[in-house]
């Protein structure tokens, strides 16, 4: 499996990412994550525009803000889109976070089992004492093609919310 050296920084320290970088126009890589204790693959997500917001951990300020910002920005689109926050947090922690923060539109997917999302989308951070995913956003159309990609260069920075939401809205 490819490793991309110094692909991002974490608090200014260069870190490698495991997996190839996803490109606009390619088919979205498959994965096997957990929604609660139920396995979910790309094929299990609805065939409509999808946003995958990838965060290191929901229990950190930027990740919390990222999830809540997308939650608010997607409310007007209703069931025309499917939106997911992906992290290595345990499904129980994801559920607790969503309940405590009133997150209802963003579903959570845990990649804790086998890191298949992290490796398939090239977002698994290497060189940390604890496995984490880097911050990224992917938009996938109804046919399963990637239409928007953002790997946030500094893991502790916010993604470009406006561009990601515009990319999703173009598909509706």
Indicate the pTM of the whole model.
Answer: 0.96
Range of the domain at 66: 3-169
DSSP reduced 3-state for 36: coil
* CATH number, domain containing residue 70: 3.40.30.10
The catalytic position among 33, 63, 83, 98 is 63
Express each pLDDT in 6-56 by its tens digit.
999 999 999 999 999 999 999 999 999 999 999 999 999 999 999 999 999
Helical spans, DSSP H, in the chain: 61-74, 91-101, 116-120, 161-169
Active site annotation includes 63: yes
- The total number of structural domains in the chain stands at 1
**Other C-beta atoms within 10 Å of 27: how many?**
12
């Amino acid at each position: 499996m490819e490793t991309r050296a110094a692909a991002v920084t974490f608090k200014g320290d260069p870190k490698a990412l495991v997996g190839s970088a996803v490109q606009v126009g390619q088919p979205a890589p498959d994965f096997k994550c957990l929604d609660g204790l139920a396995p979910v693959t790309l094929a299990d997500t609805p065939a409509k525009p999808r946003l995958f917001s990838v965060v290191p951990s929901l229990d950190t300020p930027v990740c919390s803000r990222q999830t809540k910002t997308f939650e608010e920005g997607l409310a007007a689109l209703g069931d025309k889109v499917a939106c997911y926050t992906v992290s290595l947090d345990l499904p129980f922690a994801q559920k607790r976070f969503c309940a405590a923060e009133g997150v209802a539109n963003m579903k959570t997917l845990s990649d804790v089992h086998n890191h298949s999302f992290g490796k398939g989308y090239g977002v698994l951070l290497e060189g940390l004492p604890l496995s984490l995913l880097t911050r990224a956003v992917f938009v996938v159309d109804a046919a399963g093609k990637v239409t928007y990609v953002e790997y946030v260069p500094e893991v502790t920075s916010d993604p470009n919310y406006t561009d990601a939401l515009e990319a999703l809205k173009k598909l509706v």
